[in-house]
Amino acid sequence: MNGYGDIVRIDLSSGSVKREPITAGVAKRFLGGMGINDWLLWNHFLSVDPHIDPLSEHNVLIAGLGPLGATGFGLGSKMKFTFKSPATGFFGDSTSGGNFASQMRWAGVDHLVITGKAKKPVYIYITDSNIEIRDAQHLWGLGTHETVKKLRSGEVPSRAGIACIGPAGENGVRYACIVVTEERAAGRTGSGCIAGSKNLKAIVAHGTKGVSVHDPAAAFAAAERIFEAIDSDPLVSVFKKNGTLNMVDFYDAIGGNAYRNNQFSKVPDEKIAVMSPNWYTANMKLRDLACSPGCTFGCDSSCQIKGGETTLARRLSGPIGGSPEYFTIATFGMGCDIPDFPAITHLHRTCNDYGMDLGEIGGIIPFLMELWERGILKEEHTRAWFGEPLSLEWGNFDAVERIVRAVAFQENELGKICSQNIERVAEALEKITDLPTTQYLVCGKGGNSFHEEIRSFPIWAVNFAVASRGCDHLKGLNIIDKGFRQDISTEWLGKPDAGVGYTPDLKGAASALAENYVAMINCLGICIFRPATDPLCMPPRLLAGAYTALTGIPVTVEQLLRAGERACNLEKAFNSRLGLRRKDDRLSARWMNEPVTFEYGQGMKAGDYLAGLLDEYYERHGWDKHTALPTRKTLESLDLKDVADVLEKEKAIA
Amino acid sequence: MKTLSVVPNLCIGCHECELMCSLKYSGVFNPALARVRVEYDPKENCYNPVICMHCDEPACAEVCPADALARDEATGVVTLDPEKCTLCLACVDACPYNAINVAPDGTILKCDLCGGNPTCVRFCSKRPEMSSPLMANPEGATALVFVERGA
């Protein structure tokens, strides 16, 4: 079938490798990427008990790239890793840019299904004609940067794409991530921890077969239309110029940043100034980069800490490398109050080298700092952990660096405690200090931390409470209320209300539609920047045209969106089997009960609107609002009767 | 006479030129079949397009034992006649820019400037003004440009 590669099943226990084509039926139902990954996960857990420990060898690590990835359609190539999460215990997936996914697809493989556990460290090597499981004992213990260097010094071609883990994944940090060349992390929910539990150090791919095209002339024309749409969008140049860093200034204006463990949604002006994209461009930036092949957007960049930029930079100077994203600034810069771009960059690269999600550890450390400020954590604790007193006061860069290291290498008790999700961290610290800590948590569903002000932006708040992989920003879309986009609201819901800022109106319904939309993008294997962040400037009919030219399968926009919705329902069904219900769709006490003090959104707290918006969200998805369970009617309307039958047997359907 | 040129520091490494070149000439998305090549420099964390310069005195044509490579005096384009090519790869070794690619099946991939409207330039990512202090042109531009020779 044109435009599609194969599914390859690798069992690391037995060493068996099996290859099968993607059938037209599966392609039509699930499109690819996230959709086919979810279908593979669902099927895996029909023969394996879904209640297993995520670290069991019977868990599965699925890697997949959708049909528009690794092509010239200009919207990038985003790898999706899917598994049962060791960080939350339920559905887990994570996305990364980088060049591994495209190399794998150019070798004719769209999806990998990795089961079992190797007896000793191994890596998987994929080429056009062969898939090998190779010894990786010489790589075990290395950081992700060294792993790449070593592999590329003669062992694999320099163009090969590499996805690997660092010490955090080897040492069982629950939110360890897989890092892909060149330094793009599949951050949240613990993909690297699963790889480590399987003794899988890396997956390497080098492909020269490419992606076959049904109608090259139509594909060329479709690529031209997408290219024109990118250039006609006025917001594109903002992203091209500053990437996600543009959000530092934008959030500063609308009250979207979270300062000092989200006690405040305003960061002092002088600190914003030195974390702004303008400061970065003037002092550190070297050039723009695309994070994955086929991305003509290019919102990544290259930079260097030369040593003279700030006081901290003096001892952090180093080689040219990747730049931090907004996420890193939000965690270490604003969350820990280290307004120092070189220091933030250093922590970004360190977390990537250790292969651990800087989102999770970057939420845990501000929480520890608030406990220090409140006198709950004291010198006696840090002395016991580090062998000497260590202050956890705001802005203490040394403390942050030492905690990050302690977690990655499991160096002490604090490192072990902080290798779980933030809710488990709070529980462990309550036991140690015998004082309440959970009211200072900033987290949502499943106990994942986060670092943006969400109380003033109810679409965001609903999203963080319900996302299938737990509290997180990439299953939904915040542009509608954060960007005041009444035009998108009107297009999607017939009314502008969801685009009116700082109100809860229609935000529940908008959250549900946003999930389906983002799922569609993730099924196609492309980046959410542009198609999802601006569905009007990059309308889905352009994607439908590209898909049909590529595969020869006629598809309507409606069918694309239904495929996205199908993937959302599969993830919902998986979590429902595990016992997740409405009570699990929740936000931490700070977000629920403490009002916003910033000028915009002043007084807003999620406790005032969340219950009503959840009703609206479940109804829009066609799920039962009392239990949050999927309904047979909705599943059958999506051609998922087989899924409904499984849920029926396990009493996990409404 | 216009030809291809590279503006320093503007390539973002998206490989779009390779992907669209392979689509146009081979009907697939496959950088291994592209006439243009983007190389990654890990030390500088940057990407450099490698393009055929369509030299005034092309070394590739000079060494070709089959006269398969020739420069069109009217357009300045150095083209390959695949019928004549014996796949000896002498041109690949002779090119001072290392710009002649070899496909996985051993055939030569040679840029012909798309008859005067290069696909790689058409799809090269447009960068906004002053995106980086190293930017060669503060007005913003693309890494691959089609310009008058010597410009």
Strands (DSSP E) along A474-532, which ranges?
Answer: none
> What does the pLDDT read at residue A77?
98
Pairing of strands A109-115, A6-11: parallel
Nearest CA in chain A to B136: A287
3-state secondary structure of A196: helix
Distance CA A300, CA A325 (A): 8
Q: In this complex, is the C-beta atom of B30 within 8 Å of any C-beta atom belonging to chain A?
A: yes
C-alpha separations of A321 from A302, A391, B100 in Å: 6, 30, 30
- Tens digit of each residue's pLDDT (9 = 90 or more) over A194-215: 999 999 999 999 999 999 999 9
For residue A231, pLDDT beyond 90: no
| Burial class of residue A643, CB neighbours in 10 A (0-12, 13-18, 19+) | buried
ipTM confidence: 0.97
Q: How many CA atoms are closer than 13 Å to the CA of A51, on its beta-carbon side? A: 5
Distance CA A589, CA A577 (A): 27
Three-state SS letters, A571-625: HHHHHHHCCCCHHHCCECHHHHHCCCCCCCCCCCCHHHCHHHHHHHHHHHHCECC
In chain A, what residues touch B15 (CB-CB under 8 Å)?
102, 290, 293-294
> What does the pLDDT read at residue B139?
82
For residue B150, pLDDT beyond 80: no
Q: In this complex, is the C-beta atom of B47 within 8 Å of any C-beta atom belonging to chain A?
A: yes
> What does the pLDDT read at residue A531?
84
In chain A, what residues touch B128 (CB-CB under 8 Å)?
237, 240-241
| Burial class of residue A321, CB neighbours in 10 A (0-12, 13-18, 19+) | buried
Q: Which of A288, A289, A323 is the best mutation test for B, with the most CBs of B within 10 A?
A: A288
Q: Which of B6, B16, B40 is the best mutation test for A, with the most CBs of A within 10 A?
A: B16
Distance CA A127, CA A135 (A): 16
What percent of chain A is predicted at pLDDT more than 90? Answer: 96
Q: In this complex, is the C-beta atom of B123 within 8 Å of any C-beta atom belonging to chain A?
A: yes
3-state secondary structure of B144: strand
Quick one: DSSP state of residue A347?
H
For residue A136, pLDDT beyond 70: yes
Distance CA A199, CA A48 (A): 20
Average pLDDT (B31-37) is 98
pLDDT band at B137 (very low <50, low <70, confident <90, very high): confident
Q: Under a CB-based contact definition with an 8 Å cutoff, are residues A97 and A155 in contact?
A: no
In the stretch 236-275 of chain A, residues with CB closer than 8 A to chain B read 237, 240-241
Average pLDDT (B111-138) is 91
CB pairs under 8 A between A and B: 138
3-state secondary structure of A627: coil
Distance CA B67, CA A60 (A): 57
Residue from A219, A144, A157 nearest A184 by CA: A144
Residue from A334, A347, A342, A445 nearest A394 by CA: A334
Weakest-pLDDT range from A44-48, A224-228, A289-293, B129-133: B129-133
pLDDT band at A134 (very low <50, low <70, confident <90, very high): very high
For residue B151, pLDDT beyond 70: no
Q: In this complex, is the C-beta atom of A2 within 8 Å of any C-beta atom belonging to chain B?
A: no
Weakest-pLDDT range from A54-58, A440-444, A515-519, B145-149: B145-149
Contact B125 A297 (CB under 8 A): yes
The angle at the Cα of A355, spanning A354 to A361, to the nearest 5 degrees, equals: 85
For residue A533, pLDDT beyond 90: no
- Tens digit of each residue's pLDDT (9 = 90 or more) over A397-413: 999 999 999 999 999 99
In chain B, what residues touch A149 (CB-CB under 8 Å)?
42
CATH code of domain A255-447? 1.10.569.10
In the stretch 50-109 of chain B, residues with CB closer than 8 A to chain A read 104
Residue from B104, B39, B31 nearest A210 by CA: B31
Contact A287 B126 (CB under 8 A): no
Q: Which two tokens stand for residue A495?
A: 């009314």
3-state secondary structure of A390: coil
- Higher pLDDT: A200 or B151? It is A200
What percent of chain B is predicted at pLDDT more than 70? Answer: 99
> What does the pLDDT read at residue A606?
98
- Higher pLDDT: A130 or A235? It is A130
In chain A, what residues touch B46 (CB-CB under 8 Å)?
286-287, 289, 302, 320
Contact A290 B12 (CB under 8 A): yes
Q: In this complex, is the C-beta atom of A302 within 8 Å of any C-beta atom belonging to chain B?
A: yes
In the stretch 60-99 of chain A, residues with CB closer than 8 A to chain B read 70-72, 74
Domain locations in chain B as residue ranges: 2-148
Nearest CA in chain B to A106: B30
Average pLDDT (A616-626) is 98
3-state secondary structure of A455: coil
When CB atoms are compared, the residue of B12, B22, B126 closest to A210 is: B22
Q: Under a CB-based contact definition with an 8 Å cutoff, are residues A525 and A569 in contact?
A: no
pLDDT band at A443 (very low <50, low <70, confident <90, very high): very high
The angle at the Cα of B145, spanning B139 to B147, to the nearest 5 degrees, equals: 100
Q: In this complex, is the C-beta atom of A103 within 8 Å of any C-beta atom belonging to chain B?
A: no
> What does the pLDDT read at residue B135?
83
In chain A, what residues touch B9 (CB-CB under 8 Å)?
286-287
The single-letter code of the amino acid at B32 is A
Structural class in CATH, domain B2-148: alpha beta
Contact B12 A211 (CB under 8 A): no
Distance CA A19, CA A16 (A): 10
**Domain spanning A458-537+556-649: CATH 1.10.599.10:** yes
Weakest-pLDDT range from A115-119, A175-179, B74-78: B74-78
In chain A, what residues touch B31 (CB-CB under 8 Å)?
106, 210, 293
Q: In this complex, is the C-beta atom of A506 within 8 Å of any C-beta atom belonging to chain B?
A: no
Average pLDDT (A163-170) is 98
Contact A295 B128 (CB under 8 A): no
In chain B, what residues touch A152 (CB-CB under 8 Å)?
42
Distance CA A286, CA A591 (A): 38
> What does the pLDDT read at residue A530?
84
pLDDT band at A90 (very low <50, low <70, confident <90, very high): very high
Q: Under a CB-based contact definition with an 8 Å cutoff, are residues A297 and A237 in contact?
A: no
> What does the pLDDT read at residue B1?
84
CATH code of domain A6-206? 3.60.9.10
Quick one: DSSP state of residue A124?
E
Q: Under a CB-based contact definition with an 8 Å cutoff, are residues B120 and B21 in contact?
A: yes
When CB atoms are compared, the residue of A71, A287, A320 closest to B29 is: A71
Q: In this complex, is the C-beta atom of A181 within 8 Å of any C-beta atom belonging to chain B?
A: no
Q: Under a CB-based contact definition with an 8 Å cutoff, are residues A237 and A421 in contact?
A: no
Average pLDDT (A143-148) is 98
Task: Name the one residue in this structure whose structure tokens are 């955090």.
Answer: A168
For residue B130, pLDDT beyond 90: no
Task: Name the one residue in this structure whose structure tokens are 């020869």.
Answer: A552
- Tens digit of each residue's pLDDT (9 = 90 or more) over A503-528: 999 999 999 999 999 999 999 999 99
Contact B31 A297 (CB under 8 A): no
For residue B138, pLDDT beyond 90: no
Nearest CA in chain A to B132: A287
Mean pLDDT (chain A) is 97
In chain A, what residues touch B12 (CB-CB under 8 Å)?
287-290, 295, 298, 300
- Residue A561 burial (CB count, 10 A): 17
Q: In this complex, is the C-beta atom of B32 within 8 Å of any C-beta atom belonging to chain A?
A: yes
Q: In this complex, is the C-beta atom of A23 within 8 Å of any C-beta atom belonging to chain B?
A: no
For residue B51, pLDDT beyond 90: yes
